[in-house]
DNA sequence: CGAGTATAGTTTCAGTTGCAACTATTCTCA
DNA sequence: TGAGAATAGTTGCAACTGAAACTATACTCG
């Protein structure tokens, strides 16, 4: 019987790595600001793109409608973000960071960068670039095989 | 205000990539055999290491006790695996694939390998080896910075 | 021995997740 | 125009999740 060594299997290896990394990073902001990973992602997008819709956030973060909707609801309750709706299209929300949210963003961004730096010391710049190129190629290939599975 | 581009941020990039990959792979066996990702991982370990304990499976798969316990319970109900307990230590389970589970394993392993191959065509062997080395280095570095976070 | 500690595994509980169905609004084109 | 399709977002539901408490068994050392 043909065997499979999980520890050498790419999807599994990436899953373990990414989950540990996300969880470790989350400890940096989770209890400090009482926000979850989806909530942080919403804040991260709004820090970069102010006044966008929930769907735009979903597109940027690859989170689905529902996850974004609930993250937005929690952030509104915590007053980390504000919401209006477009006059021209009242279906579309217009999200932006409230003062408290800007503080979270300003505090977390350097920590996140520090964390990334603390990990990527294992790469010299060229190797890191190659690793990133690998991620991009896999990402593209994922989309290519999509649907077309066996 | 210093900004963070999520789409260029390593933990985020890996998270998106790994989640998509796992989800895509799961479609290969999910409805075909009615098993979840944790259940497949248990089967994968038992295909490689017959007669091990639930904790051993947890160690190999990086899944916690609870996740393994529940996956095992479901696989038992579906008669994909069998369970005994050690005579010398009745706390320790002794898990092994039942006939149906062996079939699942025998069917899924080639599909999983095909899937991996379909993705890694984007790499020549050397590049793939370098990419894997990168994963290993990051994995090691994750453990190194552990606890020691800011 | 036997009280205290450690280990394997399960259960409870509270929170999260995603699909599908829903509301509300806007667009399309006969 | 206005009926039907499309889009933005929310909610109900059922399954999944992990932390903490629990059961049961085995080990340790005074």
Closest nt to residue A73, judged CA to C1'? D10
Do the domain assignments include residue B127? no
> What pLDDT shows up at residue A2?
82
What is the domain count for chain A? Answer: 1
Do the domain assignments include residue B1? no
Q: Give yes or no for a contact between B55 and B137, defined as CB atoms under 8 angstroms apart.
A: no
Element (H, E) at A126: helix A125-145
Nearest of A9, A5, A132, A12 to residue B131 by alpha carbon = A132
> What pLDDT shows up at residue B150?
59
Do the domain assignments include residue B38? yes
The reply to whether the CB atom of residue B37 sits less than 7 A from any atom in nucleic acid chain D is: yes
Do the domain assignments include residue A39? yes
Do the domain assignments include residue B94? yes
Domain span at residue A80 reads 6-145
Torsion of CA B41, B44, B49, B55, to 10 degrees: 10
Do the domain assignments include residue A150? no
Chain B, 68-97: which CBs lie within 7 Å of strand D?
Answer: 70, 88-91
- B72-95 confidence digits (pLDDT tens): 999 999 999 999 999 999 999 999
Q: At residue A70, does pLDDT exceed 80?
A: yes
The reply to whether the CB atom of residue B61 sits less than 7 A from any atom in nucleic acid chain C is: no
Q: At residue A149, does pLDDT exceed 80?
A: no
Q: What is the C-alpha separation between A12 and A18, in angstroms, rounded? A: 10
Do the domain assignments include residue B128? no
Q: What is the C-alpha separation between A107 and A79, in angstroms, rounded? A: 16
CATH number at residue A87: 1.10.10.10
Do the domain assignments include residue A1? no
């Amino acid at each position: 019987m043909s065997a499979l060594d999980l520890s050498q299997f790419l999807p599994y290896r990436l899953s373990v790595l990414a989950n540990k990394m996300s969880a470790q990073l989350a400890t940096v902001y989770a209890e400090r600001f009482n926000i979850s990973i989806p909530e942080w992602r919403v804040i991260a997008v709004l820090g970069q793109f102010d006044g966008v819709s929930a769907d735009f956030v979903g597109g940027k973060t690859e989170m689905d409608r529902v996850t974004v909707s609930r993250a937005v609801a929690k952030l509104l309750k915590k007053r980390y973000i504000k919401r209006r709706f477009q006059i021209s299209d009242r279906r579309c929300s217009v999200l932006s960071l409230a003062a408290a949210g800007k503080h979270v963003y300003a505090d977390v961004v350097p920590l996140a960068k520090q964390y990334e730096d603390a990990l990527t010391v294992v790469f010299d710049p060229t190797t890191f670039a190659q690793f990133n190129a690998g991620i991009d190629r896999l990402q593209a290939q994922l989309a290519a095989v999509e649907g077309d599975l066996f």
